[in-house]
Structure 1
Amino acid sequence: MSVRVVRAEFTKLRSVPSTAWSLATAVVLVVAFAAMYSTLRVTRPPADPAAFDATAVALAGVSLAQIAVGVLGVLLVTGEYATGLIRTSVTAVPTRLPLLWGKSVAFGLVTAAVAVPAVVGAFFVGQSVLRREHLDVAFGAPGVARAVLGGALYLVGVGLLGLALGALLRNTAGAVSALFGMLFALQMVAGMLPESISDDINKYLPAPAGLAVTYVDHDRYSLGPWAGFGVFCLYVGVLLGLAAWRLRRRDV
């Protein structure tokens, strides 16, 4: 992968209208939902304030923003296949694989640049609302900074997951459906299983595993923060590997 390829992918990102709209939507969802959900929790104070997770309340919008970021990742690849631009890209980068890695690096950096200030802003917005009932928590409290920045890492991972599915399936409808299936449908299926095995399976699924890094407190129903995020990264890595194999072995 060369700097030239990454710069070309940055240019593509800037020229696609859906990039700005999707990332702006993600920011609005993260920050606005933090304010709304925090307000709701203030009007309905918890019975046990000691067990209240103020950080999770402020980061509630991450679960919504993942839709916008993941779909954008899909569109960045499938859009090239739909318009035929992929042939030009492959001609410019005949070894092909640097094209996928360059797109992943460019999209990951752009997503991180947007997600980090969004989740940090959401945290402080949420805490300013929760402070009315003395439910807020300091950014420097144990596990809080990791959980907040973990929200940004998770959004970057979801974006790359969507990009990988787009590169692997090369069809917008199919890749978006697969993305939603991995993030939501698998949990619904796991929930239909007997409770004795459902809980053990659920924490290893993509979304619960990835979101573990955003939790301050953990219980037996979730993996540890970095263990969970590691499992999530494994899903992303496997799909990117499969996408690379198809890009290298199959015609565009």
Structure 2
Amino acid sequence: MSVARAEFTKFRSVSSTAWSLLSAAILIVSFGILYAMVRVTRPPADPAGFDSVGVSLAGVQVAQLAVGVLGVLVITNEYSSGLIRTTFAAVPRRTPVFWGKAVVLAAAIFTLGLPAVFSAFLTGQSVLSAEHLDTSLGEPGVVRAVVGGALYLVVVALFGLGLGAIIRHTAGGVAAVIALLLGPQMVTGFLPTELADDIYRWLPSPAGLAITTARPDSTLLSPWTGFAVFLLYAAAVLALGAWRLRRRDA
């Protein structure tokens, strides 16, 4: 508990933390509103198949980069400043420090992400209501999709933390986050369509984002299956990061 408190103190005292969290919240809400406005000007031919929840949560896909970068910074900032040596001198076992960072990071992202995603949903639906394209929280799968948006961002941040622990360099960690979250989808675009579709749904970002869909999507895994796959990706990266912290000098 004392390690978590110390990590929370460090977390809130770094200016990049506040800027990353603020950026994520703004992106979640603003892109949801903007995309809803675009869809109102271009209403679907078949409203019955329209995914209004996905439209209002479009900002989650953009905000994932902000929280992924924050996850990297949580640990690489200490390496770049040399503070990590002081931290490990105070807690020689190292692993509690890493998991303390993970707990604090996850709590912060969920605490900020949940109200931001709900705000994006409500404001997006308000815009879509002009063309009667909106839906309510009471519809099947909607609450799960909205809460899932916040959960997805938490796992992205932990994914970034793991990569930061592995690479230990801010630029390299940020590049790895972008490459692993967005790069594989670009690569599948060069594959035959049937093969690309089969691979796409198992990639980290598409798998995790399945939980943010309220309607069945044949291109994605089922919501909880996809999220479980993404959790496995994040768990593997975190485990490798923890191993590297134990095995390598600060």
Normalised by the length of structure 2, the TM-score is 0.99
Correspondence for 1:122: 120
Point out the more displaced range, 216-225 or 242-251: 216-225
Correspondence for 2:170: 172
> Per-residue CA shift, 1:137-186, capped at 9, x if unaligned?
01110000000000000000111111110011101111111111111111
Percent sequence identity is 58
> Per-residue CA shift, 1:39-89, capped at 9, x if unaligned?
111111110000001100000000110111100110111110000000011
Correspondence for 1:246: 244
Correspondence for 2:100: 102
TM-superposed deviation, 1:220: 2.7
CA distance in 1, matches of 2:223, 2:214: 8
TM-superposed deviation, 1:15: 0.4
Correspondence for 2:149: 151
> Per-residue CA shift, 1:116-154, capped at 9, x if unaligned?
000001000001111111110011100000000000000
Correspondence for 1:24: 22
Unaligned runs of 5+ in 2: none
CA distance in 2, matches of 1:200, 1:142: 27
Correspondence for 1:185: 183
TM-superposed deviation, 1:33: 1.1
- Give me the CA root mean square deviation: 0.7
The equivalences for 1:81-92 within 5 A come to 81-92=79-90
CA distance in 2, matches of 1:233, 1:68: 19
Q: Secondary structure at the match of 2:58?
A: coil
Point out the more displaced range, 219-228 or 112-121: 219-228
Paired amino acid for 2:105: F
Normalised by the length of structure 1, the TM-score is 0.98
Q: Which one of the candidate residues 70, 73, 82 is aligned to 2:71?
A: 73
Runs of 4+ that moved beyond 4 A = none
CA distance in 1, matches of 2:44, 2:193: 27
CA distance in 1, matches of 2:239, 2:184: 21
Unaligned runs of 5+ in 1: none
Correspondence for 1:59: 57
Count of residues in correspondence between the two structures: 250
CA distance in 2, matches of 1:33, 1:181: 22
CA distance in 1, matches of 2:20, 2:109: 10
CA distance in 2, matches of 1:194, 1:56: 26
CA distance in 1, matches of 2:242, 2:89: 16
CA distance in 2, matches of 1:218, 1:141: 13
Paired amino acid for 1:136: D
